[in-house]
Amino acid sequence: MEFGPYLMLAALEGAVTAAVLALMAAGLSLVFGVMRVVNVAHGEFYMLGAVLAFVVAGMAGGGALGFVAALVAVPLIVGALAVAADVTVLKRVGYDPERTIVATIGILYILQQVTLMGYGPDARPVAAPFNQRIALPWVEWGAGGPSLYWPWGLSITSYKLFVIGAAVVVLALLWILMTRTRIGLVMRATQLDRETAQAFGIPVERVYALVFGLGAGLAALAGVLIVPIQQAHYLMGGDALLLSFIVVIIGGLGSLPGTLIAALLIGLSDGILSVFFSPTLAKIVATLLVALVLVFRPQGLMGKPAR
Amino acid sequence: MSALLSTRALSKSFAGLRAVHEVDFDLEPGEIRALIGPNGAGKTTFVSMLIGRVAPTSGTIHFEGRDITRLPAHARVRLGMAYTFQITSVFARLDVAENVALAARRRLGGDRAAVARETAAVLERVGLAGHGDALAGDLSYGHQRLVELAMGLAQAPRLLILDEPTQGLAEGEIAAFRRLIRDVAAEATVLLIEHNMGVVMALADRITVLDFGEVLAEGSPAEIHGSAAVQAAYLGTGADA
Amino acid sequence: MNARILALHGGLLALLLALHFVLPVYHHGNLARVMVLACYAIGYNLLFGYTGLLSLGHAMFFAAGMYGMGMPLYHLGLGAELAFLAGIAAAGGLALVVGLLALRTVGVAFMIVTLMFSQAFYLAILLAARWTRGDEGLVLAGADRVLFGLDLTDPDIRYLLALGLFALCLSAALWLVRRPFGRVLVAIRENPERAELLGYDIFRHKLAAVVLSGMFSGAAGAAYGLMFGYVGASFAEVHFSIFPLLWVLLGGAGTVIGPFFGVLFMFYLIDISSGLTPAYMLVAGVALVLLTLFAPQGLVGEVRRRWLRWLP
């Protein structure tokens, strides 16, 4: 394959990564934005999404129906689980930022290890509901001007396009929820000033539980969407968490639009960079970059300086 | 010029809002100076710049002839300035003696006996002699204010900045406090931010009045008391007198 | 007061020495490991318990000590004594660089920055597989593991050296926290703004704490590698940054003796549960959640709060 089509393929793969990452990072960012806590167990909600997708799809008899069942039920189950974790643990440490991190590290191990006990150490796939291969054209400048041709190997599956589309739709809905609805208004008010919100009769603790559940649900949704592409495994949360951290930090902690742009940036560059570099080196560079952004530009690359 | 501390055109703006504007201020060695003014006049911002908690937008600060405008707070303290907080800021989970010892130890170093002596002496002086083993956070509010003051004294500063030290104290405590400051003034220059006009009139050698971030008037207690401008801006309200 | 403190800490060391003669082989070996890991926990506690800085990346210092010792020993044939010092120096140097950068942040950002640096360090070990042998790690030959003529493959010598190192770390920590320097660290933990206005340079004190903490951790890493003959990337993984946090929380943050009991307790908890299930890290997770919820003071911290207020 020539370089141009090769790059386009990498960009398309990157867009799929970006879509899943954006969903997950939006959840993390939402939790940080409203509750001011970092949820280290976020990657495990993603992992649970993938693992439960396997379980639910199996119970629903597999196939397209199984997948749809998982898509609907799994984010709700994981969201409910997160709400339970919020009420039993986070609420009781008073959402203290440092103790919350320690507690969510504990939750991380609990979720991961319970999954290992129940689901086992194997990676398992879920069949995509549809998976047609769509060949893509490329432009060639020949003697007679530009002409289209279909290079061998330049293609994407319909399922991957669906993932991109689904992420766009869900994120748009999230945006509408946050900016156009009463619940969104309440969340934003809580984010701005917890005490005042409480004084105005906003049930802050219920809002927190809801936000934590919503954040986990988004991660789980990302997990469900990825299983047909990448198998479900009990350790898959770690890398996903790292990537979402990177996205959220570069996008500016708690800023949804910043998170989306950063997800696109990281997803695309991940796809394209791994063509040129070893994945380990790419990860090292990305990790150090994030640390340095936090040190020198804590408001994120796209955020405005505080005050 | 022999001023202990002086500022020239010292200004601070927060997001375009002028908190302190071009203040020229000179403090003579050995005096007790009171800084008064209505709420929001910029008093705390001004002294926060003196001690280095807040960076000025423009202007300079000199201490004993040395330009300290860019020095970090801890370096200013090392030069002989001490600051007690308006909102009590003690080490709540450490005992009272350790609070004071921390203040003394910087000066006296690892000499445990000297630190213990100084700590005991200072606690005695502020009237907390029996409270050395109590956790600072368990003390009453008035006693915590005294710990705050004891930490200032234990540093043996040349300039002691007291930010509203009598706020929230009972009448009897205020009287004791007045005697204590009189006593301290023999060793250190005192800059006192104070709302209680009784305390100010009884203690201050000179008074500086800040209003809207600028120096409105400066003079002896009698002059300030007689100034029509100050009456209008501040005393006239009568709220704190 | 001094006598009590000496008796308690000296008593623990004497007890550990006595146990050398009576413990069955299995527990004898375990306790040697526990003592070395306790040095790591003591180093972590200096930063977390005393200075109030929660790092999520201490594995990089442990691993820097381990690889800083192991690589010159393995590749250059450096003697074990110098290699051990090289390990400590490597950890201290890394801690200095990390401290200079990470200490520009506080709170949650500090936690994440240290986590990220540590992750980068772990990946760098994998990337440099040519020298580190990546995931496989370096197995140190028995002939190289001789420290001042003492053969580290002998379990008895191993135990006694582990005890020696632990005694050294414990006394150093005890000395440090009772010195003015240690008191300032506590002041910074309790109220950094007040400490600054008492004339203490907060940044330099924190930096010194990071470097010292890194060197303790590095010494533990180097010793662990030497004693058990293996230098591996798994010691640089995130788990190994979470462990010292767990040990110190469990034993009692800000107590000199607590980290040892934290390691001891957790070591046996995991040892027992890994015999029952491969998901033994579940124990760590449950312990973390329960500690955060119900016993933020830890074992020794609780003892101090209730009965022995003089405990350093």
Residue C268 counted as domain residue: yes
Q: Are strands B189-193 and B32-36 parallel, antiparallel or unpaired?
A: parallel
The pLDDT score that the predictor gives to residue B160 is 93
The domain locations on chain A are 3-236
Chains that touch A (3 or more CB pairs under 8 A): C
Contact residues on chain C for B148, CB-CB shorter than 8 A: none
**Contact between residue C241 and residue C61 where contact means Cβ atoms under 8 Å apart:** no
Query: Is pLDDT above 90 for C175?
Result: yes
Categorize the per-residue pLDDT at A306 as very low, low, confident or very high, splitting at 50, 70 and 90.
very low
What pLDDT is attached to residue B14? 85
Interface of A with C in 139-178 (CB under 8 A): none
Mean pLDDT score, A21-50: 91
Instruction: Determine how β-strand C146-147 pairs with β-strand B206-211.
Output: unpaired
Q: Which of A133-137, B7-11, C40-44 has the lowest mean pLDDT?
A: A133-137
Q: What is the pLDDT of residue C278?
A: 84
The H or E element spanning position C310 is none
Among residues 140-179 of chain C, which lie with CB inside 8 Å of chain B?
179
Q: What is the pLDDT of residue A305?
A: 47
C201 lies within 8 A of chain B by CB: yes
pLDDT at B236 over 60: no
The answer to whether position C220 is within a domain reads yes
On whether any CB of chain C is under 8 Å from the CB of A12, the answer is no
Q: What is the pLDDT of residues B37-68, one digit of tens each?
A: 888 788 888 999 999 988 999 999 999 988 99
What pLDDT does residue B240 have?
44
Q: Is residue C312 part of a domain?
A: no
CA distance C50 to C175: 13
Q: In angstroms, what separates the C-alpha of B230 from chain C's closest C-alpha?
A: 33
Please report whether residue C311 resides in a domain: no
Say which of C112, C279, C291 has its CB closest to residue A294. Answer: C112
User: φ and ψ at C106, to 5 degrees?
Assistant: -135, 165
pLDDT of res. A28? 92
Question: What is the pLDDT at residue B239?
Answer: 42
Question: Tens of pLDDT along C220-233?
Answer: 999 999 999 899 99
Mean pLDDT of all residues in C292-300 = 83
pTM for this prediction: 0.86
Cα–Cα dist A243/C8, whole Å: 47
**pLDDT at position A26:** 92
Q: Is the pLDDT of residue A2 over 70?
A: no
Residue A53, pLDDT above cutoff 80: yes
Query: Cβ contact (<8 Å) for A108 and C285?
Result: yes
Per DSSP, chain B holds a count of helices (H) and strands (E) of 9, 10
40-59 in C: which are within 8 Å (CB) of A? 54, 56
CA distances to C89, C175, C217 from C221, in Å: 12, 22, 6
Q: What confidence category does residue B241 fall into, taking pLDDT thresholds of 50, 70 and 90?
A: very low
C192, closest residue in chain B (CA to CA):
B91
Grouping H, G, I as helix, E, B as strand and the rest as coil, residue B25 is strand
**What count of Cα atoms within 13 Å lies in the side-chain half-sphere of residue B237?**
10
Q: What is the pLDDT of residues C241-256, one digit of tens each?
A: 989 998 998 888 888 9
Query: Which residue would you say has higher pLDDT here, A251 or C190?
Result: C190
Look at residue C107 in the predicted model and tell me its pLDDT.
80
Q: Among candidates C221, C220, C187, which has minimal Cα distance to C205?
A: C187
Q: Which residue of B49, B68, B91 to mutate against C (max C Cβ within 10 Å)?
A: B91
A283 vs C288: CB contact, 8 Å cut-off? no
- DSSP string across B104-150: HHHHHTT-HHHHHHHHHHHHHHHT-GGGTTSBGGGS-HHHHHHHHHH
CA–CA min distance C176, chain B (Å): 12
Predicted confidence band of residue A307 (pLDDT cuts 50, 70, 90): very low
Backbone angles phi, psi at B191, to 5 degrees: -115, 120
Whether the per-residue pLDDT at A99 is higher than 50: the answer is: yes
* C147-170 mean pLDDT: 90
Pairing of strands B58-63, B66-67: antiparallel
Average per-residue pLDDT in chain C?
90
Q: What percent of chain C has pLDDT over 70?
A: 100
Give the pLDDT band (50/70/90) at residue A147: confident
More confident of the two residues A287 and C58? C58
Find all residues with CB under 8 Å of A34, minimum gap 6, and list them.
A187, A188, A190, A191, A207, A208, A211, A254
With a cut of 90, say whether residue C134 has pLDDT above it. no
Q: Worst-scoring range by mean pLDDT, A29-33, A126-130, B209-213?
A: A126-130
What is the residue-averaged pLDDT of chain A? Answer: 85
Least confident of A292-296, B228-232, C94-98: B228-232
The helix or strand, by DSSP H or E, that contains position C98, with its residue range, turns out to be helix C80-102
CB C39 within 8 A of CB C216: yes
Alpha carbons within 13 angstroms on the beta-carbon side of residue B110 total 8
Q: Answer yes or no: is C211 within a domain.
A: yes
Neighbours of chain C (3+ CB pairs under 8 A): A, B
Shortest alpha-carbon distance between residue C113 and chain B (Å): 25
- Contact residues, chain B to chain C, C-beta under 8 Å: 51, 53, 72-75, 77-78, 82-83, 85, 89-94, 98, 101-103, 105-106, 109-110, 151, 155
Residue C179 lies in a domain: yes
Is the confidence at residue B16, as pLDDT, over 80? no
Q: Report pLDDT digits (tens) over A174-229.
A: 999 988 888 888 888 888 888 888 888 888 888 999 999 999 999 999 999 999 88
Could you list the residue range(s) of the whole structural domain that residue C224 is in?
Answer: 2-306
pLDDT at B102 over 80: yes
**Domains plus CATH for chain B?**
29-55+69-80+157-241 (3.40.50.300), 92-156 (no CATH)
Give the domain CATH number at C18.
1.10.3470
Mean pLDDT across chain B, nearest whole number? 85
Using an 8 Å CB-CB cutoff, list chain A residues near C290: 106
pLDDT of A79 reads 95
Kindly tell me if the per-residue pLDDT of A301 is higher than 70. Answer: no
Query: Which of A42, A90, A110 best tests the C interface by mutation, with the highest count of C CBs <10 A?
Result: A110
**What confidence tier does A250 reach under pLDDT thresholds 50, 70, 90?**
confident
Q: What's the pLDDT at A274?
A: 66
Q: Residue range A255-272: average pLDDT?
A: 80
**Is C193's Cβ below 8 Å from some Cβ in B?**
yes
- pLDDT tens digits, one per residue of B136-189: 888 888 888 888 889 999 998 999 999 888 887 888 888 888 888 888 888 899
> Which residues does chain C have within 8 Å of residue A280's beta carbon, measured at their own beta carbons?
123, 126-127
Residues of C in contact with B89 (CB under 8 A): 191, 193-194
Distance CA C101, CA C99 (A): 5
Q: What pLDDT, on the 0 to 100 scale, is given for residue B196? A: 83
Determine which of A64-78, A246-260, B91-105, B155-169 has the lowest per-residue pLDDT on average.
A246-260
A256 vs B8, higher pLDDT: B8
Q: CB distance from C191 to chain A under 8 Å?
A: no
What is the pLDDT at residue C45?
95
Q: In chain C, how many domains are there?
A: 1
In this prediction, residue C211 carries a pLDDT of 97
Residue type, A10: A
Distance between CA atoms of residues A266 and C130, nearest Å:
29
User: What's the pLDDT score for residue C214?
Assistant: 97
